[in-house]
Amino acid sequence: MDNAYDVAFRRALRDRDGFWAEAADDVRWFKRWDRVFDDSKAPFYRWYVGGLVNSCFNAVDRHVEEGRGDQPALIYDSPLTGFTVKTFTFRELRDQVARFAGVLAAAGVNKGDRVVIYMPMVPEAVVAMLATARLGAVHSVVFGGFAAPELAARIDDAKPKVVVTASCGVEPGRLIPYKPMVDEAFEIAKSKPGRCIVLQRPQVAAPMVKGRDIDWDEAMVKAKPVDCVPVLATDPLYILYTSGTTGTPKGVVHDNGGHLVALKWSMRNVYDMAPGDTYWAASDVGWVVGHSYMVYAPLFHGCTTILYEGKPVGTPDAGAFWRVIAQHGVQALFCAPTAFRAIKREDPDALLLKNYDMSRFRILFLAGERTDPDTLRWAETHLKKPVIDHWWQTETAWPIAANPMGLHRFPVKPGSPTKAMPGWDLGVLDGEGKPAKAGEIGSLVVKLPMPPGSLPTLWNADDRFIEAYLADFPGYYKTADAGMIDEDGYVYVMARTDDIINVAGHRLSTGAIEQVLASHPNVAECAVVGVRDAIKGEVPVGLLVLKAGVARPESDIVSEVVGLVRRDIGPVAAFKQAVVVARLPKTRSGKILRGTIKKIADSEPYKVPPTIEDPACLPEISGALGRIGYARTEP
């Protein structure tokens, strides 16, 4: 018997225009579109052609008009600044946004102009994003703390009229002054922005450049509120530069209309949220999760969203997430699996969870990296709530595969983000570009066209868009993820395609090996990379982070995980070496930098990634790999 998911999935492929026209009826338009879908310039597909809309209006103004003005829209929670909590209703948020739009307008920002936002996790970052959208301008949020050359490269690509920043970011035990990096980026950049708006935080006073810099608070006092500017549905809303880029940054573009429709649809149908619910995406405003599910989607849907300036552990302990959920009545949490691995490592028995009232909490969503079955089971056991793995990318803006909690809840298969969402014609191609059989690992691809919300192109780089995503498999979008789809239609995302290693002619997924390592009771998290080998071509090497309080000899644990891989995957994996490390190198969004680890292991020169959270861990990784015969080259 068909369920709601089956009906929606089939209709989205067979009656694409009808399905997405119906979804778009949930959006407030200034002018209805002329065409739902336009393929006249394929592969540059466009949605809701001719429609006039404003993303800021749909995020805040409409809710005030429709009676939600006094509902909390944004709750700022910052354990890093003395457990500061500040709540903005939809009306208060609208007024702040309208006034800051006036500040931007006075600084020369008009429809179509770009604004670079280089901010910490403070409410003003959200205000700046929405105010830019209110003017019909295009924002590009750069993660606060990126080095000046990285910021300058993004300024040169986006060519903003204005940069919005803060005097500092706050991290556990340290302050990061932002303004010196912004000033250096202005010096380096060839395309000089006209103005810089600076939020002075009480922790650090930033030096101001006379005639160029504008004080946020002073400007807000003088500013006149600005109304929403209608833009075409096909006009860009934002540019987000993908992490880990070298050379010219790759600016992923998301438009106003398709992005708005898809994200609002996903809140009800994927995340099972209703207007008025409280939703928390524990991400950063600089990443796509922060854009999609901390700022835009919850506000589009009339939900209360949480902005958290803290960590899953250490602010002050591994109960930080439980405290936020209980204090603010969070019903759904979205975070990276690495956050839960950190919590599990510090509090393996979840004893701190017992201190908090979790009665309103309903669902945990995990994404950003593959959710290993051990972490999923740990969360299910202790939370006693559904734990939903799902998969998507910066380029897609919303889930490709998920367990659609608002349509139909499927049985969970550990290691799988469940099924492709309506609109995504997902498949697996083998090395020759032919469809793979059920259960066979290959390249995960999406048959064109992709649904609304996904990137229409790269910023000022149409040729690069085709080369990066469409050229390898004509007629398909290349996700650059490797995986399989089983006979039940469940998707398995095993690794990035460059993480499929070839061991003596056998193609193996490092993700599958990591899944085995993570099942060991003493292992909190792990990473596996393929290292060059003169005989086998490549061999897998594991890095293990142990749970807190483990006092067993490391050599015993290494021997046991080697035995587990031999038992569960077989001798063909040639997995013989692993090393215990104190921590793994990660981006600030929690992704493990496997490519950097591989270069270290292969004794290749490497560049310290601008997205890395703790650069000091790289020499430690090098030393650990050196103990087992690898890593002889420094950056």
Q: Provide the residue ranges of all domains of the chain, joining segments of one domain with +.
A: 4-310+390-483, 504-626
Q: Is pLDDT at 262 greater than 90 in this prediction?
A: yes
Q: What is the average per-residue pLDDT within 147-163? A: 93
Strand locations in 312-455 (E): 332-335, 363-366, 387-389, 401-402, 419-420, 426-429, 442-447
Q: Is pLDDT at 243 greater than 80 in this prediction?
A: no
Decide which of 501 and 215 is more confident.
Answer: 215
Q: Is pLDDT at 244 greater than 50 in this prediction?
A: no
What mean pLDDT value characterizes the chain? 93
Question: Which residues have a Cβ under 8 Å from the Cβ of 426 and sit 6 or more positions away?
Answer: 400, 401, 420, 444, 445, 446, 447, 485, 491
CATH number of 504-626: 3.30.300.30
* Confidence label for 341 from pLDDT (cuts 50, 70 and 90): confident
Write down the pLDDT at residue 246: 42
Write down the pLDDT at residue 149: 84
Q: What is the average per-residue pLDDT within 494-511? A: 69
* Confidence label for 630 from pLDDT (cuts 50, 70 and 90): confident
Q: Which CATH superfamily is domain 4-310+390-483 in?
A: ANL, N-terminal domain (3.40.50.12780)
- H/E element holding 156? helix 148-158
- Cβ neighbourhood burial of 67 (10 Å; 0-12, 13-18, 19+): exposed
Write down the pLDDT at residue 506: 61
* Confidence label for 328 from pLDDT (cuts 50, 70 and 90): very high
**What is the model's pTM?**
0.86
CA distances from 289 to 223, 250, 332, 381 (A): 31, 18, 14, 26
Mind listing the pLDDT tens digit for each residue in 170-203?
Answer: 989 889 999 999 999 999 999 999 999 999 999 9
Mind listing the pLDDT tens digit for each residue in 384-401?
Answer: 999 999 999 999 999 999
Q: Is pLDDT at 553 greater than 80 in this prediction?
A: yes
Mind listing the pLDDT tens digit for each residue in 42-83?
Answer: 999 999 999 999 999 999 999 999 999 999 999 999 999 999
* Confidence label for 510 from pLDDT (cuts 50, 70 and 90): confident
Mind listing the pLDDT tens digit for each residue in 519-544?
Answer: 999 999 999 998 888 777 788 999 99
Q: What is the average per-residue pLDDT within 20-24? A: 98
